[in-house]
Amino acid sequence: MISLKDQDSINGSNKAEQLKAVVGLCFSDNYSSTGRSRLVEYKGRTEICVTEEVASEYKSNTTKPRPGLRRQPAWLVWNGFFY
């Protein structure tokens, strides 16, 4: 996958700044047991995001979030927020 930095240079966007702006917010995460995660930190130098699972927004999903933090590629988290 193309890094966020390379994508920004190709299309003139600033995906890194977009991720920094949404730290602390929740997003759809297909790799989470609940389908939702919160962005805890964006590490721009390594293009890694630190996330934590949160409870589902749907009452029918009673799966409890797994404890702990998880490292995910920045492009994957960006897609969860903006696609």
Taking the model in full, what pTM does it have? 0.84
CB 51 within 8 A of CB 40: yes
Query: Residue 57: is its pLDDT beyond 90?
Result: no
> How does the average pLDDT of the chain come out, rounded?
88
**pLDDT band for position 50 (50/70/90)?**
very high
Q: Cα dihedral sign for 17, 18, 21, 26?
A: negative
Residue that wins the pLDDT comparison between 12 and 82: 82
SS3 19: helix
59: containing domain: 4-82
What is the number of domains present in the chain? 1
Q: How confident is the model at residue 1 (pLDDT cuts 50, 70, 90)?
A: low
Residue 56 DSSP SS3: coil
Q: Round to whole Å and give the CA distance between 40 and 71.
A: 10
Q: Are strands 69-73 and 48-53 parallel, antiparallel or unpaired?
A: antiparallel
Q: 83 or 43: whose pLDDT is higher?
A: 43
- Tokens 């919160």 — which residue? 38
